Chain A
Amino acid sequence: MVQRLPDQTRAFFLARGFDKESADILGKKGCVFQSIMKNTAEKSATSLIDIDLKLWRMSQPNSSTTGIRLSSDWLKLWQHRGLGKSSQIAFKWSFFPTVQHFQGGDYNWGMTSYGLPPGASFDLTVVWKENGQPHTEILPGIECAQDR
């Protein structure tokens, strides 16, 4: 996972036809990361990794554990704000798919969002299945990029 600076995120979506206010919402409240997931198994048929972002959890000190901000959550907002179809299409496909399946050699890039302000910190519980077996890993102290 790599921090996306709020300005990087704003610029990307402005270039996709977002209006300034909508792009700014993502910059100020998105806490967006570029996320890459790979199945590094050598052969496609022997390893299957399943991802469902609905199972991921984030937690902050003195705060309850919540799910992450999914692309479907954001798409509802963009539809409500009347964003153009092409902008919504670009948003949908630029975000990491909520559900994905990786055979050996497969990988996906995409944005993930945690809905916190710039500079906020949280622990992320990542959940995945490998050949049907569930796995969990906690990534502690992830920081949303500062808005400079």
Chain B
Amino acid sequence: MVGISNLHAMEDLAQTLTPVEGRPPAPDFIVKDIEDNTHKLSDYRGQPVILNFWATWCPPCREEMPAMQRAWEKLRTENIALLAMDVGEDEDTIFTFTADYAVEFPLLMDIDSSIIQQWPVLGLPTTFVIDPEGRIVYRAVGGREWDDPVLLDQVRALKLKK
């Protein structure tokens, strides 16, 4: 049960999303991203949202960034949002990070950690999947290979039927 450190934290782990009991409403927030765009979570109603809490110094957070980018390249045309909420760091720190980890999905800033405190997060990274009605449906503690169809198909299944 007690793991041995390795450079590839996601090796040998099942790509799972844990259903969240009761599907509670996702706490709303309004934040800026590093490009000074404003994001209000409730404005994303009508589409599934993958919301990732992370920090630049967190090794598993860094490791899953390329997978999140690959997922975004598929999701961006499928009406599914992917948002990464950095905890406790400023724009300069996050911008410097993107020189080594070029990603195109929004990097939001929870500079004073007031937002993460509203969410059921105990460690980084933790990711939530929110349904189009604004309810927390799935949770993942630790990084994932986000472009794995096993995960993405569960998110796609939440989309509103036309």
Residues of A within 8 A of B (CB): 1-2, 12, 15-16, 34-45, 49, 85-86, 89-90, 92-94, 96-97, 99-110, 126, 128, 130, 135, 137, 139
Instruction: Write out the residue numbers on chain B whose beta carbons fall within 8 Å of the beta carbon of A44.
Output: 14, 16-19
Which of the residues A36, A92, A103, A108 comes within 8 Å of B16, measured between beta carbons?
Answer: A103
Question: A16, A45, A102: which contacts B19 (Cβ < 8 A)?
Answer: A45
Q: Kindly report which residue of chain A lies nearest to residue B16, judged by CB atoms.
A: A105
Find out whether the CB atom of B19 lies under 8 angstroms from the CB atom of A109.
no
User: Are A89 and B122 interface neighbours, CB within 8 A?
Assistant: no
- Interface contact B141-A99, CB-CB below 8 Å: no
Q: Chain A residues near B143 (CB, 8 Å)?
A: 107
CB–CB B58/A106 < 8 A: no
Q: Beyond A45-B19, A49-B1, A97-B123, is A107–B88 a contact (Cβ under 8 Å)? A: no
Complex: A137 Cα to B14 Cα, angstroms:
25
Whole-angstrom CA separation of A49 from B15 in the bound complex = 17
Q: Quick one: closest A residue to B142, CB to CB?
A: A107
- Chain A residue with minimal CB distance to B93? A86
B140 x A38 contact (CB < 8 A): no
Asked if A107 and B3 make an inter-chain contact with CB atoms under 8 angstroms apart, the answer reads: yes
Query: Would you call A93 and B55 a contact (CB within 8 A)?
Result: yes
Closest residue to B10 on the A side, CB-wise? A107
Query: B88 contacts which chain A residues (CB < 8 A)?
Result: 86, 89-90, 93
Q: Which B residues are CB-close (under 8 A) to A101?
A: 122, 141
Closest to A85 in B: B112
Contact at A107–B60, with CB atoms within 8 Å? Answer: yes
Q: Are A97 and B140 in contact (CB under 8 A)?
A: no
Which among B19, B60, B113, B142 is the interface contact of A89 at CB below 8 angstroms? B113
Q: Is B158 an interface residue (CB 8 A)?
A: no
**Most A CB atoms within 10 A — which of B90, B122, B124, B140?**
B122
Contact of B141 among A15, A45, A85, A106 (CB under 8 A): A106
Q: Are B142's CB and A106's CB within 8 A?
A: yes
B87 within 8 A of A: yes
Could you tell me the distance between the alpha carbons of A139 and B2 in the complex, rounded to whole angstroms?
10
B1 partner residues in chain A, CB cutoff 8 A: 37-39, 49, 128, 130, 135, 137
A42 CA to B33 CA, complexed, in Å = 35
Are A107 and B13 touching (Cβ within 8 A)?
yes
Partner among B14, B57, B142 whose Cβ is within 8 Å of the Cβ of A12: B57
**Cβ–Cβ < 8 Å partners of B112 in chain A:** 85, 89
Q: How far is the CA of A130 from the CA of B26 in the complex (A)?
A: 28
Q: Is the C-beta of B132 less than 8 angstroms from some C-beta in chain A?
A: no
